[in-house]
Amino acid sequence: MKTNEKVWRFIQSDAGSPAMNMAIDEAISTMVSEKKSPPTLRFYTWEVPTLSLGYFQKAEKEVDFAALKQQKLGFVRRATGGRAVLHDKELTYSMIVNEDDPMIPKTVTEAYRVLSEGLVVGFQTLGLAASMTNLASNEEKAKYSQASSAACFDAPSWYELVVEGKKIAGSAQTRQKGVVLQHGSILLDMDVDMLFSVLKFSNEKVRDRLKASFYNKAVAINDIKREMGQSTVALPEVMTAFQAGIAQGLGVTLAPATLTPEEEALAQQLVQEKYGHDDWNLKR
């Protein structure tokens, strides 16, 4: 390692509950804010398939809780914006760094672009022709200006990770207490039927139309692998590719580590007081 090379902590968590997954991200953010923890990349998965809702979404209006219960799915509200995500067959990542870090641009959109460079390399490492598209262009904006659902992969960001014109990663970002938290989903496979079964629509015709449109906007890694006549990939291979890709894309060295005792204690507290409660999850 070069003496001037930036070092980030890398944490690979066990599968967590919906509340714990969000609580750990916030606990790390707090410790990074207080200069008690270094910039951190975390990989994690979910104990049960889980619908996460963006901070500003209206839960009762957009989520079919009877369908969630029937299918025994988890539910949690994120601290970040964006739309609903069904976390199932995926690798979830979070990147947490002080916003005054020299590598972080001042604007949210440019910070998103910088932090997502490593995701592009990760997809490319898996043999996918991924690129970052600027949706500020009129052509790309027009594609996503059609009616869309409450689902994250149905909504554009200023910079979007795409393969063959379809969105392949859903990410969201927030800045609080001087810290940038970006987390998102890297889908191995995508159960569109399950996703649309737990979102509310005005009627079945609208649901079917938006679901058909969704297939034209979003894609998962193994969908493309199958189209290319290649073997599908499993989670360990995806983790390896994105650990290397993010390190290369950000120009950092990733040092394997675990949560500190203080982070673990704060995460437990946040589960009890915030992410495990209806007061937070149904607040809008």
Strand 159-163 to 130-134 pairing: antiparallel
Identify residue 216 by its one-letter amino acid code.
Answer: N
**Is 98 within a domain?**
yes
**Is 60 within a domain?**
yes
Task: Lowest mean pLDDT of 146-155, 201-210, 214-223, name the range.
Answer: 146-155
Mean pLDDT, rounded, for 2-7: 68
**Is 47 within a domain?**
yes
Write the CB contacts of 56 (distance below 8 Å, at least 6 apart in sequence): 81, 284
Phi, psi values for residue 20, rounded to 5°: -65, -40
**Is 189 within a domain?**
yes
Q: How far is CA 151 from the centre of its chain?
A: 12
**Is 251 within a domain?**
yes
Structural contact between residues 94 and 181, judged by C-beta atoms closer than 8 angstroms: yes
List, by residue number, the catalytic residues: 152
Q: How many domains does the chain have?
A: 1
What share of residues in the chain are helix, strand, coil (percent, to 5)? 40, 25, 35
Identify residue 145 by its one-letter amino acid code.
Answer: S
Strand order, beta sheet including 159-163: 130-134, 159-163, 166-167
| pLDDT given for residue 158 in this prediction | 56
| Arithmetic mean of pLDDT over the chain | 89
> What gap in Å lies between CA 74 and CA 109, rounded to an integer?
30
1-5 LR contacts (CB < 8 Å, sep 24+): 1/253, 5/251, 5/252, 5/253
Strand 166-167 to 169-176 pairing: unpaired
| pLDDT given for residue 216 in this prediction | 84
Which of the four pLDDT bands, split at 50, 70 and 90, describes residue 133? confident
Nearest to 232 by CA among 223, 243, 219: 223
Residue 76 sits in a domain of what CATH number?
3.30.930.10
| pLDDT given for residue 236 in this prediction | 98
Phi, psi values for residue 97, rounded to 5°: -150, 150
**Is 162 within a domain?**
yes
Interval 30-62: pLDDT, tens: 999 999 999 999 999 999 999 999 999 999 999
* Residue 240: Cβ within 10 Å count: 14
Strand order, beta sheet including 179-187: 169-176, 179-187, 90-98, 40-44, 6-12, 252-256
Distances (CA, A) of 48 to 138, 196, 264, 275: 39, 17, 21, 16
Range of the domain at 110: 6-281
Q: Which residues of 194-218 are buried (b: 16+ CB within 10 A; e: fewer)?
A: ebbbbbebeeeeebeebbeebeebb
| pTM of the entire predicted model | 0.90
**Is 114 within a domain?**
yes
Structural contact between residues 114 and 104, judged by C-beta atoms closer than 8 angstroms: yes
| pLDDT given for residue 4 in this prediction | 56
Mean pLDDT, rounded, for 101-115: 90
Structural contact between residues 257 and 11, judged by C-beta atoms closer than 8 angstroms: yes
**Is 1 within a domain?**
no
